[in-house]
């Protein structure tokens, strides 16, 4: 799912292409994309784009007369910029937004259709779509600390909870926690003040650095490969590969539809975190350290 750096990359690429332009036409290929009925989607056609913004992990097109298009890409949704009037791809295409300067295609890989588009009018209607998470770049350290400890969660869950923090998801939380040398399963209620201060600084540093890096790499082109698995990531998607800090093999734990990637040496004092499914299966045989895991792999 595109997160803060990816959404900011999209906004950076969209701004020079659509700002001030009229949205001449909206072409729908999937009726399941639109999740609102008032105002009717067709009333947005012909209106000029007066602003672009991020709302959590959503991209918002602000049109004149306080009309807004809110697009949530979810896991597999992506934007493609093509020539004016480009055809909506048959298999993955959801919609096309036509502008005088080009066509913005909305696509979604896979068979599930989770991406959504809402048309709303007025600031209050827009605010109703805000999950409520705080933007870490507008917080003081004290505000961040209070937000982090608002509920007693693991650090992984707290960082990725859209009601607590805006735009941080599975991928960049892995990067943040490795850089901060903190376990993803550390409880927020037990976090030392010095560790919270370190997490605050590193969260902002990691998100800003990745945003700047992606924008610099893309240049004036439109981003075609927005992915949760980036070359240069230290932890996310690097299971079994060496930690760039210490060389230890990156480990992972899986839960629900997500996973956490971490370095045992840098983040957990050499202890392996118990994967919920495997630990239930293995019970007392679950390896507790990397050394024990390696012995198990080597066999008798």
Report the pLDDT averaged over residues 115-123. Answer: 98
* 4-127 and 136-293 agree in CATH topology: no
Tokens representing 81 are 């910029």
Is the model's pLDDT at 281 over the cut of 70?
no
Each residue's pLDDT tens digit, 100-112: 999 999 999 988 8
Mean pLDDT, the chain, integer: 92
**Which architecture characterizes domain 136-293 according to CATH?**
Orthogonal Bundle (1.10)
Per-domain boundaries in the chain? 4-127, 136-293
Q: What is the pLDDT of residue 173?
A: 98
Q: Is 292 helix (H, G, I), strand (E, B) or coil?
A: helix
What CATH superfamily is the domain 4-127?
MutM-like, N-terminal (3.20.190.10)
Q: What is the pLDDT of residue 291?
A: 62
Q: What is the pLDDT of residue 278?
A: 47
Q: What is the pLDDT of residue 255?
A: 74
Write down the H helix ranges in the chain: 4-18, 123-127, 141-148, 155-160, 170-180, 193-218, 264-267, 276-282, 290-298
Q: Tell me the pLDDT band of 282, cut-offs 50, 70 and 90.
A: very low
CB-count burial class (<10 Å; 0-12, 13-18, 19+) for 100 = exposed
Q: What is the pLDDT of residue 184?
A: 96
Tokens representing 94 are 């959801």
E strand or H helix that includes residue 119? strand 116-121
- What is the C-alpha separation between 196 and 176, in angstroms, rounded? 12
Is the model's pLDDT at 276 over the cut of 80?
no
Report the pLDDT averaged over residues 171-196. Answer: 97
Judged by average pLDDT, the poorest of 52-61, 223-232, 269-278, 288-297 is 288-297
Q: What is the pLDDT of residue 290?
A: 64
Each residue's pLDDT tens digit, 2-19: 999 999 999 999 999 999
Token match 């007369």: residue?
65
């Amino acid at each position: 799912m595109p997160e803060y750096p990816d959404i900011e990359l999209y906004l950076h690429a969209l701004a020079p292409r659509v700002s001030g332009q009229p949205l001449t036409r909206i072409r729908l290929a999937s009726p399941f994309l639109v999740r609102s009925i008032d105002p009717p989607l067709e009333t947005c056609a012909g209106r000029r784009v007066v602003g672009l913004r991020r709302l959590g992990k959503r991209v918002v097109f602000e049109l004149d007369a306080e009309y807004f298009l809110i697009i949530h890409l979810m896991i597999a949704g992506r934007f493609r910029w093509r020539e004016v009037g480009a055809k909506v791809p048959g298999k993955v295409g959801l919609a096309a937004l036509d502008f005088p300067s080009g066509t913005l295609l909305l696509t979604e890989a896979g068979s599930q259709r989770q991406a959504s588009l809402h048309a709303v009018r007025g600031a209050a209607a827009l605010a109703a779509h805000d999950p409520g998470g705080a933007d870490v770049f507008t917080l003081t350290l004290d505000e961040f600390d209070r937000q982090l400890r608002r509920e007693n969660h693991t650090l992984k869950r707290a960082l990725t909870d859209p009601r607590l923090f805006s735009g941080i998801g599975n991928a960049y939380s892995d990067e943040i926690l490795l850089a901060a040398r903190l376990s993803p399963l550390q409880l927020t209620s037990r976090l030392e003040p010095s560790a919270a201060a370190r997490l605050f600084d590193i969260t902002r540093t990691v998100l800003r650095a990745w945003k700047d890096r992606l924008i610099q790499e893309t240049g004036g082109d439109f981003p075609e490969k927005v992915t949760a698995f980036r070359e240069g990531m230290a932890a996310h998607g690097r299971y079994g590969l060496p930690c760039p800090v210490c060389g230890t093999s990156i480990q992972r734990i899986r839960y629900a539809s997500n996973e956490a990637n971490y370095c045992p040496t840098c983040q957990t004092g050499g202890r392996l975190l118990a994967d919920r499914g495997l630990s239930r299966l293995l019970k007392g045989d679950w390896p507790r350290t990397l050394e024990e895991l390696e012995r198990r792999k080597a066999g008798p």
